[in-house]
Structure 1
Amino acid sequence: MPKSNVYLYFDGNAEEAFNFYKSVFGGEFAMVQRFGEMPDADKMPDETKNKIMHIALPLAADDVLMASDIMEGMGEPFKVGTNFSISLSTESKEETDRLFAGLSAGGKVEMPVQDTFWGAYFGMLIDPFGVQWMVNYDKNYQ
């Protein structure tokens, strides 16, 4: 059975927002990755390199609030009200493929499921009802 968490998108102020959330909820960031850590980061503008690619703040044993800054030209543009996804963490590649295929049927694939440079098997989609989903199998945490 997959676990679900909320994944938020920000228009360049994810770090500021998550420092605020950390002050409210407490705890420590489980992960902070910047766009400058991506392969080929030397080809992106300097002002983009320090933006948040992924940040995670555990809220409880199985609950994690996650986010990233939206990069222009990558997926849907930033829009308040639709700046979130439901992130599913699966237990296998097979479960990832099954859920991704089911949720994307009649919808729109934003990023096909694939192995990623950060070590996960991951894909993004918008279902037929306009809900944004991320489906993620991270073999490093199994």
Structure 2
Amino acid sequence: MQLNHYLNFQGEAEAAFTFYKSVFGGEFSVITRYGDLPPEEGVHLSETEKNAILHVSLPINEYTVLMASDINEQFCNPNSIFTQGNNHYISINLSASQEDEAKRLFNALSIQGQVEMPLEKTFWGALYGAFTDQFGIKWMINCQLEDI
């Protein structure tokens, strides 16, 4: 079983995932645009909407895929409202041997974002930090340094 994160953006999915790709490495396994959809009666897309991301997948490791799309009101439930920075966090948990990777990910992903809690040692024996990245996505980095 995999538990993956699916993010929604308002026209920033491509920029966000180009950034995430620069941090995590790898290649997109899928990237499709609204313009790739077959024509549908009653659906009229502007050139901007056609270029927006319908679906993008970025494998992070063998167990995790980060996925996203740009929302489009013609295809989304009209009662669902896009709210940037809701109460959802993406949590990355690393082991003590990955302390340098925890620092690298925190520093890279938080560029131009807002740090909520700096990456520092905690009372639960971990290196922990939280932030909202430049695209409004909330992240937590936890590197367990000691057994609890």
TM-score by length of 1: 0.53
Gaps of 5+ in 1: 85-142
The match for 2:83 is 79
1:54/1:66 contact within 8 Å kept: yes
The match for 2:52 is 51
Secondary structure of the corresponding residue to residue 3 of structure 1: coil
Deviations 1:80-123 (A, max 9, x none): 13497xxxxxxxxxxxxxxxxxxxxxxxxxxxxxxxxxxxxxxx
Equivalent pairs counted in the alignment come to: 84
Secondary structure of the corresponding residue to residue 3 of structure 2: strand
Secondary structure of the corresponding residue to residue 53 of structure 1: strand
> For residues 61-80 of structure 1, what are the structure 2 equivalents within 5 Å?
61-73=62-74, 74-75=76-77, 76-80=80-84
The match for 2:16 is 17
What RMSD over aligned residues (CA atoms) do the two structures have, in Å? 2.3
C-alpha change, 1:45 and 1:18, in structure 2 (3 Å) is same
Identity %: 47
Gaps of 5+ in 2: 89-148
Write the distance in 2 (CA, Å) between the matches of 1:10 and 1:58. 18
TM-score by length of 2: 0.51
Write the distance in 2 (CA, Å) between the matches of 1:57 and 1:22. 7
The match for 2:61 is 60
Question: Bigger radius of gyration, 1 or 2?
Answer: 2
